[in-house]
Structure 1
Amino acid sequence: MYIADLHIHSRYSRATSKDCTPEYLDLWARRKGIGIVGSGDFTHPAWREELAEKLEPVGNGLYVLKKEYRIEDNTAADTMQPHFVITGEISSIYKKYDRVRKVHSLILLPGLEEAEMISRKLEAIGNIHSDGRPILGLDCHDLLEILLEMCPESVYVPAHIWTPHFSLFGAFSGFDSVEECYGDLSGHIHAMETGLSSDPPMNWRVSALDGYQLISNSDAHSPAKLGREANLLDIGLSYEELKEAIQTGNGLKGTIEFFPEEGKYHYDGHRKCGLCLAPVETERYHGICPVCGRKLTIGVSHRVEQLADRPEGYRKEQAAGFESLVPLPEIIGASVGLSSASARVEREYRNLLQKLGPEFSILREIPLEEIRSVSGILISEGIGRLRKGQVTRLPGFDGEYGIIRLFTQGELDHLEGQMSLFDMSETASNEMKSVQSPGRAGERGRNSRQESEGQSYDPDEGIKSGKIPDFRQPSEQLRTGASNLAKNEKTAGFPAEILGTADAQKYTWNENQRRAIESIDRVTAVTAGPGTGKTGTLAAHILHLLENRRVKPSCITAVTFTNQAAGEMRERVRRQLGKGTAAKKLQIGTFHSIAWKILKENGVEFTLAGDSETRDLAGRIIKVYGLEMTVFRLLTWISNYKTGSRTFAFDVTAGESEHDAKLRNAFQVYQSTLKDWNALDFDDLLLEALRIARDRAEENRKNMDAGQFSYLMVDEFQDISPLQYELMKAWNEGGKELFVIGDQDQAIYGFRGADAGCFQRLSEEFPQTCRITLEENYRSAPQILTAASEVISHNPGGKRQLRASRPEGVPVRIVEADSEMSEAIFTAKEINRLAGGIGMLEAQEIFPEREGRARGFEEISVLYRTRRQADLLESCLKKEGIPYVVAGRDDFLMEPAVRGTVSFFKSLVQPDNLLAGQTALKLLWDLDAGDMTKSIYQNMADKYRPFMKKKKPQKILDEWMKDLNLEKNKGIGKLYRTAVFYQTMPEFTEALDLGVESDLKRCGEKRYTSGAVTLMTLHGSKGLEFPVVMIYGARKGMIPFESEKYSSYEEEERRLFYVGLTRAKEELILTTSKEESSFLKEIPAEAASREKARSHKNMGNGRQMSLFDFMK
């Protein structure tokens, strides 16, 4: 018979002992009497390397410690040789069925080679370097599928299935059935790990678990904790027999258990309030703590009660046996009235091991007389009581371990603890209770854990006496938490034809929304503040044209600011119109995408010069003419000159300066080069479209028909440039209606030539314009709206009037950190807190402080002023395994290797794009076009051209990185993680050319997970919304932005900050360090709370730091 503990952790896991090494695991396994030990943490590269160095295979899928690493100790059996099996634990955090799921999985493998193979696969999905128990945004179903495909001999076991925060049946983030979690792969689950807070009888109550083997393990974070729970196996020492025992029960003779009450999540309660409750008492309080009014942490016992279909005390037929034990140091400590960690207890523990043998033999097998001869009466009596189950149990709750008592204080007081066996037995018979009922609030706090008087506390009596407030009828908001708020936001002001939900039918548009939707004026200008239903109103206007006014879809065009917005608009309309052709005939897109389409329809032959090509061309021109300006500055100047955003005149008569002459020549060379290569840049694309529109303008006026632009709608009107304004008018010349919608207070692209005065200009040119203002905000909580309105009211235009429709929320939080590093660490830690903790340690510390439900990562966005601020944030999130996506045009796209790579694949997708090919030659191989270099390009083109339509961009880039030795290039790595969002290379290159801001996304890891935090600039956040928004870096010099090379425009910077503030729906957190932003001072005190971020300590020991280090 062997004792096996298969679930343990290495020193590379968070919150583990530095002694979690092969040497000490072997030593403690010998001290305990454990024959088979899990290696733990097989996914961590450094731990695998250490295992390979210190363990040697014994030819049957198991390993032993090499002799040179064995620690000789007189407290450990010399003749015993523990065997290691390769194991690990994966933490999966993902969204399924509209809920965030957090489930841990225990995995057994037949060897280190298989561990290496599986780890390589998982490394492509997420970060496996920061924690021995990696956190992946991977569905448990998909994890199991990977194991079945790559290693059929693996064993998959749902870990500690009842733990509230991180388990299959967990109360906070688990499932109600195996099938709900694993779907079609449920048949491949054969065993369940019961966890410390449940024992077999509790699991027998759930008939759905009858077909599974129940196993128990310690989940040890230090070698001394090995064997807290374990398995009794009557098998040979081989992986195959171990696997068979776990999956079929053949050889699984039983388990060694914690007393379930000792588990730290057995009963319900609030640790910080010192309140421990049985499930029935929790139900009487409706799950609300009567002390603080927050949600109680639901324990395993309660959760089992919810899923059980059998009564307490049910005994499953032919079930394997189990033994409930207490660690020997705790028995020794109980006998002398000392802590189990005291020096005196440790000495006695070592004495017993040295004289009697392994701990499990002492606890389970050695006669009591023999134990008494070595230890005295009380220790042997304690072990005797333990073997009979004669213990007093105080249940653990909300992260605090329970207490198992073997003696009363009176017994310990007799004759320095040496009382007669008769006295002890008599007292024991009177004192022992199978389970003590919990005490009232305050009786079981962290520093005062007293036994109850054997009676349950009656909450009715507490309420009648006035000692505890009556929380049995809590408010609806308190009872359901933040999840309840979404109902109002999603439905008010948005009827069913837009939402696509039956519930929405009872809601109607507000008066001004309806005026906008039904407007028939020649020109309608709608000012729509943030959260007032701008997008929904615009979509409803389109539907009104189609369904009520019977306008042909081929006569309607909607211009959006981003391609993502265009896709969302299309989807909203399609949901109402169904699968017919009407939605497909609508023209919806950005100015540039529609212009591209028009040029192609009119037979204009051209290639598009994207960022990569124009930057390379501008860089060459700057060198030739010796211009003292950056590439960005020159391209901005050229763009502004072309679009009319600024007035630039080369007035030779006034005496042209040398700099002006250089700029004029540079501009001419730039344009002539594009012409030579038959290329257009983005501004030329619009200028050509404008030329075509003006050529047709007269005919359109005569026919009173603007074709596809007869009914023209323009979204985000405040951010169009003068050129786009002229294009809008030209397209709608002869048309029926022009409908524009936007908000002057959200005009944030002045630096790109946008004209915030476009609303005024439109009214002047079209005096009969119908002007409508939307002022009712359906997005943000009142405190958020108050803060934002006060800030923007410091700009000209007077007091802003936005009415909040949502119920009261929490104040805006302004958090001050000591440094940028502390600010980034706080941000990652706060995301952790919002998500309810990503590890079990964090969960028990954090979750009781959270009101309502835990957030999904996808509900959280971090906004910042400049892209470079993201570097530190990414580092902190990556180290902690928090999945994230970076949205926006990132700086890595400007790196030579990335620009060259993009240009190369563009040249394959667009064979006529000679400029792209030339750019690739220059940036990748530092060669100019010519006969000698054609062969280099042609060889690569011949290899990759067949892949363009058959392979996904990520697969193509995999090969590309190897061919050009770019595997370690960080920029190319980021391009690779951007490619994950696209199915074909043509789609990918088009997105890189035409995509703006939030159109482009990059994964933090090599595989995309939908449950990910979004990182983006304030500019990129326009038009988006999130339940939780954190604005990072709200400090002087950053918001408003100040730079020697950038002339800050305070009013526009304030508008940008206002955009960021109003992205938040329920929670808004502003972080700062050093000197805070002047804009923070504009937020009224009644709308905000201020706090200091907790400082961190630099460990300085050379190892990688984690947030756990920072929290010490």
Structure 2
Amino acid sequence: MLTSEISTIYKQDGKVRKVHHLLGAPSLEAVRRINTRLAAIGNIVSDGRPILGLSSRDLLEIVLEADENAFIIPAHIWTPWFSALGSKSGFDCLEDCYLDLSPHIFAFETGLSSDPLMNWRVSRLDGYNMISCSDAHSTANLGREATCFDCALDYFALLTALKTGAGLRGTLEFFPEEGKYHLDGHCGVAYEPAETARLNGRCPICGREITVGVLSRVCELADRPEGLRPAGAKDFASLIPLAEILGEIMQVGCTSRRVKAAYDGLIANLGGELKILLETDLADIRTAGGEVLALALERMRTGQVIRKGGFDGQFGEIRVFGSDENDLLFQAVMERRQTGIAPASAKRSAQKKTSDSLKLNAGQLAAVSLSAGNFSVAAGPGTGKTRVLVERIKQLPGSILAITFTNKAAEEIRARLGADSSAEVFTFHALAAHLLRAGGRGVAVADEAELRALAEAQGLSAELVDQLLFKLSTCQSLTEPEAAFLKGLTKLPFEGLIREALELALPRWEHVLVDEFQDINPLQYEFLRRLSRDARSVMVIGDRHQAIYGFRGSSVGAFEDFGRDFAPVEHLSLRETYRLTEAVASCANAFVQAETVVSGRGGEPVRIVGASFPADFIAQEIEALAGGLSSSKLKRAKAEYALSEIAVIVRTKNQAKTVMEALAKHSIPFDAAYATPLAERRGVRERLALLEGREIASQVRGLGEAALSRLDSGLKPEQTSRLQAALALSASLSGSVSERLNRLELSGLFKLPALDEEHVFYRYAELFGCDLEGFGQFLRLSQDQGALNGEHVRILTAHAAKGLEFKCVFLSGSYPLPGMDLAEERNLFYVALTRAIDRLYVVEPLNERGPFGRELPRPWAEYSQAEVLRRSQQELLF
């Protein structure tokens, strides 16, 4: 069935309406007719859900005129902000939404935050059939919610079932409390409908309107009591994804490797996930998965679950076991051998930790078992250095500080340690900000883009900013202009945080551990010396062959400095890699002329490919590796890789453009934003500037460069009026970050780049409530927020790829980059090589062998030439 989702935003009856619709069409010809009409109204080629400025009624008319058998179903009808009956931008009945064409609406989607029980309370919905749908952006989420049919498997049979109910069996649902708008809420507090009414709909914390959730909205429109089932109502079942149940039992995240292994084992033994959740006999589940899993599924099937309702954009929580049932969950740990379900790590005393219980190799165990003293650990790619850090922290007594270089690494360490750990885990910059706040200092951070804009406004060059940042990181003296610029700033650059923190009376920790030590710069090194001056032990861990930040002041000589300044230092190494195949490990070792890693895992040789059109070769090979993304390509399918398991690593962002164009031509979804701070992304940067009262004039509609150049000499009256209105709006902004954003966007005064309403920027805005300063700092400090959920090929620079791994990696672009430090270029190539778990391609222009690729030895690397067919056009469907 050909389907899509459209968002319409328009004004009706004095109120802005935002409604999402599901579209269905019986043929590609009908699709083309619909697209032709909609393309004349707005942009329908952007990723995700197109946003159009026309009414729901007019959209329905366009669809029906394109084909009488096409249809529209209102989507997630109760969601507050984007639905037909939502409290914020919807109507009181579907007839008001679709007006005279309402008879053509025959079904509606329940959405995550409601279920049939709730919808049965509204008698005006009796004439419609209910459907339930899953997120389409993630294969793992397909089937979480579903509509069940008992009819022929063709479009018109399904359409008849949807219209008449004959052949429509019912739906599979979330527990509605898990939806992120089930209850009312604001400023981080949830309210039941009665409490919202008692508060007259106002948040007692900030005084703003409470976001009215689905339950309240249903109660408002309901004319029946709870529990009444209308005649002819279809059946439904409320489910919890199997991975979430396993994660709760194991007390780990549902995306962890242990959960995946257990999930795969159960699917192999018992069949598909829906079969396990709905139909499989509990005795069979008990045999394959253990007593606790069988009990969990029994409770889910009978609705005996613990429900914590979501509110104001925060997902709720559904649990099968209470906090008083930890002993029961520990029983699942003891069933490990029988069930194959990996347990959560059990706490053991340091004295009882053995090599067998930890499953550490000899090198890892040596590093974990060290007591007092200072240690330098050389850890090659994939050798388990994060695990060594975590296991060492677990056994150390006293106060512990762990320092990483990315938020992603810090979050991973915290997650592995668990909520009960007292260890403090920070990045260098986040630690400095934390210490400044603890010392009573306000902290505001300016990223490089903002610093350059400030310098330009003062008639200074961007080079001054670059030199300033480099000198701060390397503890060099500043010139008078640089010092004056720094002194005049009301916000600190990142390295300025550390410089300011060095002036504080720093706290003391008994044990200090530093990850990715090869990335440290002189300022951070001095910070480390001060932080660890009285420590009983200091451990640094890293890989000198992955030192790639010399342009930021980092130096591989830091290892020698540590050996001298922290003497005596014991040196250890981790060489057994769990990531790389023997072929990739051997190529990496040959390239750096040292045996940095050892692998016993087989695999294919590294493929060095000369192609006439390298980017097109990469696109075609990805299409095959992903199992064929269209029926015409299934014959070339080689393996079933998920798109998110594939990465294309380039040397520079400019070199990524041809790859992006090739993937787009082949309709392969990709994400090229990894490791770009949220604050610097198009659409986010402009909105953040307005929230903070910056760059207002330059973003006002109708004020182009010519008008801005006349600010002092005079503008046209309408331009002056618009600018004054924009300035007045900016000055009057108050309340939560989300409310300020809403006012800015609805004003129509600013030329803002489009952002999908589901963009993470909006989710984070909701989470930060009224803390605008904290919101801005988070966006600037979050260097690794580009990791997106969903299935996309990742396109990254070698710098951004560091610390990541992918099952299949394509290396593309020029290595070494002319004019750059050769030793660091070699390290970059080494980093890129060692991101690959299973397959590695080095793709070069035909007859232009790169010098680095030539160094990869046979038989571990094989060179071939590839014939590439270029795709000249793409057919647009939905």
TM-score (norm. length: structure 2): 0.60
Give the alignment partner of residue 603 of structure 2, picking from 809, 826, 830.
Answer: 809
Give the alignment partner of residue 690 of structure 2, picking from 891, 894, 904.
Answer: 904
Distance 1:509 1:41, change over 3 A: farther
Question: How far off is 1:1055 after superposition?
Answer: 0.5
Radius of gyration: which is bigger?
Answer: 1
Question: How far off is 1:681 after superposition?
Answer: 1.8
CA contact (8 A) 1:897 1:923 kept: no
Q: Which residue of 1 is the match for residue 494 of structure 2? A: 682
Give the alignment partner of residue 447 of structure 2, picking from 591, 610, 615.
Answer: 610
2 CA distance for matches of 1:612 and 1:640? 15
Q: Which residue of 2 is the match for residue 640 of structure 1? A: 470
Question: How far off is 1:893 after superposition?
Answer: 6.0
Q: Which residue of 2 is the match for residue 725 of structure 1? A: 525
1 CA distance for matches of 2:126 and 2:841? 45
> Is it true that 1:1000 corresponds to 2:779 in the alignment?
no
CA contact (8 A) 2:666 2:874 kept: no
String of CA shifts for 1:1049-1088, please: whole Å, max 9, x gaps: 1110110111111111111122222534211111112112
Distance 1:980 1:1012, change over 3 A: farther
2 CA distance for matches of 1:902 and 1:541? 40
Give the alignment partner of residue 189 of structure 1, picking from 148, 151, 169.
Answer: 148
Which letter maps to 1:597? H
CA contact (8 A) 1:85 1:111 kept: no
2 CA distance for matches of 1:895 and 1:213? 47
String of CA shifts for 1:443-466, please: whole Å, max 9, x gaps: xxxxxxxxxxxxxxxxxxxxxxxx
Distance 1:1104 1:1026, change over 3 A: closer
2 CA distance for matches of 1:836 and 1:151? 44
Q: Which residue of 2 is the match for residue 257 of structure 1? A: none
2 CA distance for matches of 1:966 and 1:1053? 41
Distance 1:114 1:239, change over 3 A: farther
1 CA distance for matches of 2:518 and 2:40? 63
Which letter maps to 1:557? L
What's the secondary structure of 2:70's corresponding residue?
A: strand
CA contact (8 A) 2:129 2:162 kept: no
Which letter maps to 1:85? N
Give the alignment partner of residue 38 of structure 1, picking from 26, 47, 50.
Answer: 26
Q: Which residue of 2 is the match for residue 556 of structure 1? A: 400
Question: How far off is 1:1017 after superposition?
Answer: 1.6
> Is it true that 1:1028 corresponds to 2:808 in the alignment?
yes
Matches within 5 A, 1:888-903: 888-890=674-676, 899-903=685-689
Matches within 5 A, 1:95-494: 182=143, 185=145, 188-190=147-149, 212-216=150-154, 243-244=164-165, 246-247=167-168
> Is it true that 1:966 corresponds to 2:748 in the alignment?
no
> Is it true that 1:534 corresponds to 2:310 in the alignment?
no
Where does the alignment leave 5 or more consecutive residues of structure 1 unmatched? 1-6, 11-36, 54-60, 70-82, 90-109, 122-137, 159-166, 168-172, 191-211, 218-229, 250-301, 308-489, 499-503, 546-550, 650-663, 697-705, 794-798, 908-916, 1004-1008, 1108-1112
Question: How far off is 1:1023 after superposition?
Answer: 1.4
Where does the alignment leave 5 or more consecutive residues of structure 2 unmatched? 5-24, 42-59, 74-97, 171-270, 277-339, 349-354, 713-719
Q: Which residue of 2 is the match for residue 941 of structure 1? A: 730
Alignment length (residue pairs): 625
What's the secondary structure of 1:945's corresponding residue?
A: coil
> Is it true that 1:1090 corresponds to 2:866 in the alignment?
no
Which letter maps to 1:1023? G
Q: Which residue of 1 is the match for residue 430 of structure 2? A: 593
What's the secondary structure of 1:1086's corresponding residue?
A: coil
Give the alignment partner of residue 361 of structure 2, picking from 510, 515, 527.
Answer: 510
Q: Which residue of 2 is the match for residue 984 of structure 1? A: 767
> Is it true that 1:669 corresponds to 2:506 in the alignment?
no
Which letter maps to 1:728? L
String of CA shifts for 1:81-102, please: whole Å, max 9, x gaps: xx8511699xxxxxxxxxxxxx
String of CA shifts for 1:554-603, please: whole Å, max 9, x gaps: x21100010111011000000xxxx54xx2x4211111100001111112
Which letter maps to 1:49? R
CA contact (8 A) 2:649 2:810 kept: yes
Matches within 5 A, 1:748-759: 748-759=548-559
CA contact (8 A) 2:383 2:577 kept: yes
> Is it true that 1:570 corresponds to 2:414 in the alignment?
yes
Question: How far off is 1:824 after superposition?
Answer: 2.6
Distance 1:671 1:933, change over 3 A: farther
Q: Which residue of 2 is the match for residue 86 of structure 1? A: 70
CA contact (8 A) 1:1029 1:1063 kept: yes
Which letter maps to 1:780? L
Distance 1:181 1:867, change over 3 A: closer
2 CA distance for matches of 1:689 and 1:877? 46
CA contact (8 A) 2:367 2:388 kept: yes
Which letter maps to 1:1013? V
> Is it true that 1:1016 corresponds to 2:788 in the alignment?
no
Q: Which residue of 2 is the match for residue 910 of structure 1? A: none
What's the secondary structure of 1:85's corresponding residue?
A: coil
String of CA shifts for 1:236-267, please: whole Å, max 9, x gaps: xx979964555489xxxxxxxxxxxxxxxxxx
1 CA distance for matches of 2:722 and 2:69? 56
String of CA shifts for 1:843-871, please: whole Å, max 9, x gaps: 3x133x43xxx122222222222223334
What's the secondary structure of 1:559's corresponding residue?
A: strand
Distance 1:933 1:961, change over 3 A: closer
Q: Which residue of 2 is the match for residue 770 of structure 1? A: 570
Q: Which residue of 1 is the match for residue 835 of structure 2? A: 1063
What's the secondary structure of 1:838's corresponding residue?
A: coil
Q: Which residue of 2 is the match for residue 856 of structure 1? A: 642
Question: How far off is 1:737 after superposition?
Answer: 1.4
Question: How far off is 1:1014 after superposition?
Answer: 2.4
1 CA distance for matches of 2:694 and 2:829? 41
Q: Give the alignment's Cα RMSD to 1 decimal.
A: 5.5
Question: How far off is 1:804 after superposition?
Answer: 0.5
Q: Which residue of 2 is the match for residue 716 of structure 1? A: 516
> Is it true that 1:691 corresponds to 2:486 in the alignment?
no
Question: How far off is 1:935 after superposition?
Answer: 6.5
CA contact (8 A) 2:72 2:105 kept: no
String of CA shifts for 1:853-912, please: whole Å, max 9, x gaps: x1222222222222233344334444544343334454996689764532332x3xxxxx
What's the secondary structure of 1:189's corresponding residue?
A: strand
What's the secondary structure of 1:642's corresponding residue?
A: helix
1 CA distance for matches of 2:63 and 2:383? 67
CA contact (8 A) 1:524 1:769 kept: yes
1 CA distance for matches of 2:760 and 2:102? 26
What's the secondary structure of 2:535's corresponding residue?
A: coil
1 CA distance for matches of 2:383 and 2:766? 35
What's the secondary structure of 2:488's corresponding residue?
A: helix
TM-score (norm. length: structure 1): 0.48
Distance 1:690 1:600, change over 3 A: same
Distance 1:1012 1:8, change over 3 A: closer
CA contact (8 A) 1:892 1:974 kept: no
Distance 1:773 1:940, change over 3 A: same
1 CA distance for matches of 2:554 and 2:427? 15
Which letter maps to 2:69? V
CA contact (8 A) 1:777 1:803 kept: yes
